[in-house]
Structures are given as structure tokens and as C-alpha cells.
Structure 1
Amino acid sequence: MEQRSTAEPAPVVVEVWADLGCPWCYVGKHRLQRAIEVRPDADRFRIKIRSFELNADSPKEPEPIEAVFMRKHGGDPSVVLQAEKRIRAIAHSEGLEFDLDRKNANTFNLHRVMHFAEQSGKGLEFFSEIQDRFFSGEIDPYATGTMVEVAQSLGLDGDRVRDVLAGDEFADEVRADVSEGTALGARGVPFTVFGRRIAASGAQSVTAYGRALDQALEALASEEVPA
């Protein structure tokens, strides 16, 4: 008698190229998580945050968001505030907090710590905890103490986080993420790749994310059918 395989289906990694201060990354991340959570096969998917620097030339010291806009585009800084208010309304409609007074700074070190956390399978949790509390106005995410505190809350070694921040560990991994995302077509973030079969630019709706998850599963299933 033919025996059926009882092997569990392979997990599908959903990679999200994102940066900390990107409001659409924040909104899109929560929409993607909801799209997965409502599925009966939710356990099959794993979100992995990949590094992307929207403002790699930003200073290490936090500055108002308007300063970034003026440095890159010039013109009227009120334009960015109006855009922020529009995104805040969207975030609030989805039950998310959104602080207009948050500051921008260079995120390279934070991405390095995220890669350290990913060694223990905690990359998403670290990034998400930092980002959520940043957008709620609770923390300075760029401070060493903040990164240490969040890492420790996830069971990671705070002294190792300090060591990472004091040196240049995981710098190559951050740069590799940025290069790979660009090669795959990322021109901004969020940029989401589903099982290396489907890609989506920007913050999609929960429904659109759900369709992409289905399409990725269909593509993977079609490749498993014997010729």
C-alpha cells in the first residue's frame, strides 16, 4: 500500500525590506501581520525584516523630520507635515499610534543590532518593538540604552548589544541586505518578497497582502508538481 508523506509543508519566508522611521513600513508591517494572522495556515509563514536605509546620509544625532525633507528636497517644510498628518489619520483608523514629533537619525547601527538579534531568531521582534514604540512616541530608538533594553526584553544579551554597537559587527550584513533589495527591484520601502516568488512595492492593503500570500503558495505548489 502506498504511504502518504506526513512531512509538514515547508515554511514560506516573507521578506520585508524596511527602515525604522518609514511610516509606510510601520503601517504595512501591521497590515501584513494581520493578513497572515487571519489565515488558517498562518503558522506556515515567517516574516523576516531586511535592512534598507532610506536616508543613509542622516546624522547620528536625532533631528526633526522636516530637516531631512529640507536637506533632500528644499522648499516648504510644511509639505512633509501635511503628508505626515495624512498618514497619521490612516494609522489611527487602523488602531495604530502615530507620533508627529518623532525624530530622524541614522539607522545603520539599529540595523546592525537587528542582524545580531536575527541570529537568535529575534530580528522581527526586535525591529517591531523598536518601531512600534518609536511611532508611539515612547522611546529614542537611536540610543544605545534603548537598543540594549529592548534586546534584553527579548532574552538577548545586553552586553553583546553594547559590543556590537561599539564596533562594526554586522555592517557587511546590512550593506548586503540593501544591495540585494536594490537588485530585486526595491526603489523604496516597504518592499516585500513572498517566498522569493512574488514581490510587492509599498504598503499594500490587508486584502492585497492576502492575495500575494496565496499567489506565493500557488507558485510554490506548481513547482512541486512532478513533470
Structure 2
Amino acid sequence: MVEVTPPEGSQVVIEMWSDLGCPWCYVAKHRLRAAIAQRPDADRFKIVIRSFQLDPRAPRKPEKNEQAFIRAHGGTAAQVFQAERQMQAIAREEGLEFSLDRLHANTFDLHRVVRYANDDGRGFEFFSNVQDGFFAGALNPYVPDALEGVAEAVGLSGHRVREILASNEYADRVRADRAEGLELGATGVPFVVFDRRVAAPGAQKVPGYGRLLEHVAGPVPSERVS
């Protein structure tokens, strides 16, 4: 990636390759937002969600989370529950809700709606609200009504969401997102690229994201004395 220092005060685009049911993506997203919020120039930073399906072959019919994990990775239900409880403890330490009673299904259609939301400048907000509701156990993202409701809540057209879900719109762009992530070095998610200058694989902690923000945008601006 090219090292070019952006002009002082200019917008910094942060691209986050993510998937709905990835628990580390859920945690990383909140850590990244917390790191940004600690800066007085937080409004400089724009997070853009990029699509990266972890399980492209997942069935469209929802299945229990443990069934999906065993199908994709092997192991036993007991091992899955143990890992889930450990992840739940990590999320709760971050102040995040984490339901163990989640469903798993193919996320391709959701990502197609995210591409539409990105075009309208609300992709991160839409995806974040869907993911938060999903991990809290308060939202089933595999039914059109749920996605339509979240879309309307963030100022998007529920009618357009219905049209997209009933068609194949944005399919090529979802696939292109994943391909580009792989080209940039992603082997999984979360995978965060800061201003196309530096990449951070995995869920960094808040101070780690803070250092990356400083690397691409400069130190936290000090308050000017009048």
C-alpha cells in the first residue's frame, strides 16, 4: 500500500471487511469506534463496511449456530458451547450483549443490501445495527421484514430493500469485495484497512486501533489556546 500522508484535517476512510455472524468482527467494530471516539477530530473518520463471507456455502435456511460450526469446522456441540461462552465473556467485558441462542445462515443477501446502503452513505450504520441486534438476540437478519425495518430506521428505503432481496442486484459487488480483500491480504475477518495505507488483521484492542489512527491521521490534535 502506498504511504501518502493525507492533508491535515482531511477525511480518513477506514474499510472494514466483515461478516454478520463473526463474533470478533462484532467486538472489533465497537473497539474501532471507541478508538475513534477518543479523538477530538473523530468526525474525520469514515468507516466503510466491505463484504467478506466466511461461509459462502452456508445454507439459506437458518440452522442453529452450533450445527453450522460443526458442519463447517467439525468438533462437538460441547466444544462449540465452551468457545461461545468464552466469547460471551469477552463481549460482556466490552459492555456488549452476546446471546448464545443465535441462528446461522447464508449472509449473501444481507451483504447485497449493505452494498445498497453504502451507496447511500449509511452502510456502516445499517450493518452495525443489524449485527448488534443479531448478537443481542433481538433481531433475525434472515427475514426481509427485519432488514427492511433496520433500513427504514437509518433513513433508507424499505421498498428498495425488498426489491434488492427479490432480485440479484449487487451480487457482483459482494463477490468483488471479497476478492479485493483477499488481494489486500485478508485471510479472514475482521480485516481493517486504514486510508489504503496500513492493514490490521484480526480484532485489535482499543489502544492498538488508536495507534493505527495516529499512524494514518497524525497525533491526537491538542486543544488550541486562544
TM-score relative to the length of structure 2: 0.91
| Percent identity of paired positions between Structure 1 and Structure 2 | 56
Q: Map 1:39-188 to 2 at 5 A.
A: 39-188=39-188
Q: Which letter maps to 2:100? A: L
| Deviation (angstroms), 1:69 | 1.8
| Deviation (angstroms), 1:136 | 0.5
Aligned twin of 1:222: none
- Indicate the structure whose relative CO is greater, using CA pairs within 8 Å and at least 6 residues apart: 2
Report the 3-state secondary structure (helix = DSSP H, G, I; strand = E; otherwise coil) of the residue aligned with 1:14: strand
| Deviation (angstroms), 1:123 | 0.2
Aligned twin of 1:4: none
Report the 3-state secondary structure (helix = DSSP H, G, I; strand = E; otherwise coil) of the residue aligned with 2:139: coil
Name the CA distance, whole Å, in 1 between partners of 2:195 and 2:8. 16
Report the 3-state secondary structure (helix = DSSP H, G, I; strand = E; otherwise coil) of the residue aligned with 1:46: strand
Name the CA distance, whole Å, in 1 between partners of 2:213 and 2:155. 30
Q: Which letter maps to 1:81? A: F
TM-score relative to the length of structure 1: 0.91
| Deviation (angstroms), 1:36 | 0.1
Calculate the aligned-residue CA RMSD, in Å. Answer: 1.2
Tell me the number of residue pairs that the alignment of Structure 1 and Structure 2 aligns. Answer: 212
Report the 3-state secondary structure (helix = DSSP H, G, I; strand = E; otherwise coil) of the residue aligned with 2:100: coil
Name the CA distance, whole Å, in 2 between partners of 1:217 and 1:8. 8
Name the CA distance, whole Å, in 2 between partners of 1:182 and 1:19. 14
Q: Which letter maps to 1:141? A: P
Which protein shows a greater Rg? 1
Larger mean Cα displacement after TM superposition, 101-110 or 150-159:
150-159
Name the CA distance, whole Å, in 1 between partners of 2:186 and 2:81. 25
Name the CA distance, whole Å, in 2 between partners of 1:73 and 1:134. 22
Aligned twin of 1:210: 210
Name the CA distance, whole Å, in 2 between partners of 1:9 and 1:215. 14
